[in-house]
Chain A
Amino acid sequence: DAGVIQSPRHEVTEMGQEVTLRCKPISGHNSLFWYRQTMMRGLELLIYFNNNVPIDDSGMPEDRFSAKMPNASFSTLKIQPSEPRDSAVYFCASRLDGMNTEAFFGQGTRLTVV
């Protein structure tokens, strides 16, 4: 398996534009996580899906952020409209549930909003 695949790796957009980040989890994994990382706030959990269903979205900063998981092999994180303070690295991770299982992270998407 190629691991968790995120696209794009880098995104530069203008304030007010819509941004869509994509994630393909590892095949067979049933949990998916979206994180945002900045120097100031560290690694923040935004939303967690289990079996394609959003379980905990308490970390989503505001209504401008939305996430979907239409099937077990694809998820998106959308920001509309984007703002400069959304600039960060966004990570996706997947895991097969269980106490002894590890999560696997993608390489991240570096978002810059100008």
Chain B
Amino acid sequence: DAKTTQPNSMESNEEEPVHLPCNHSTISGTDYIHWYRQLPSQGPEYVIHGLTSNVNNRMASLAIAEDRKSSTLILHRATLRDAAVYYCIRYTGGGADGLTFGKGTHLIIQP
């Protein structure tokens, strides 16, 4: 039970923004939201994380809803190399609970 819900797949065009949604309606006040992605034939890699405020880094932006029950990973200008499975994880901290992966969203980028 990954405790988050994501669409199975999404498709976007190259050089356009991509918004990947994640529902985590049972999140508690101290849970962080972490995003990972898995490129073909590789292990998952960290993308971004946040608690309450929107976050930006060189890879992506994370927009967290005010009630924290959902979040959106934003790729500002998708490239073909962004084609991957994106995982949204509710990180409770401590133990292995924070590293349980769901099915994720398979992002397809069209040239």
Contacts and interface: CB of A to CB of B under 8 A. Distances in A.
Interface residues on B, range: 20 to 34
A18 interface: no
Nearest to A58: B96
Q: Report whether over half of chain B's contact residues are helix, strand or loop; otherwise say mixed.
A: loop
Interface of B: 30, 32, 34, 36, 38, 42-46, 49, 87, 91, 93-96, 99-104
A108 B43 contact: yes
B41 to A, nearest CB: 8
Interface of A: 4, 33, 35, 42-43, 45, 48, 50, 55-56, 91, 93, 95, 97-100, 102-108
B91 A93 contact: no
Main secondary structure of the interface of A (DSSP, over half): strand
A105 B45 contact: yes
Contacts of B100: 45
B96 A100 contact: no
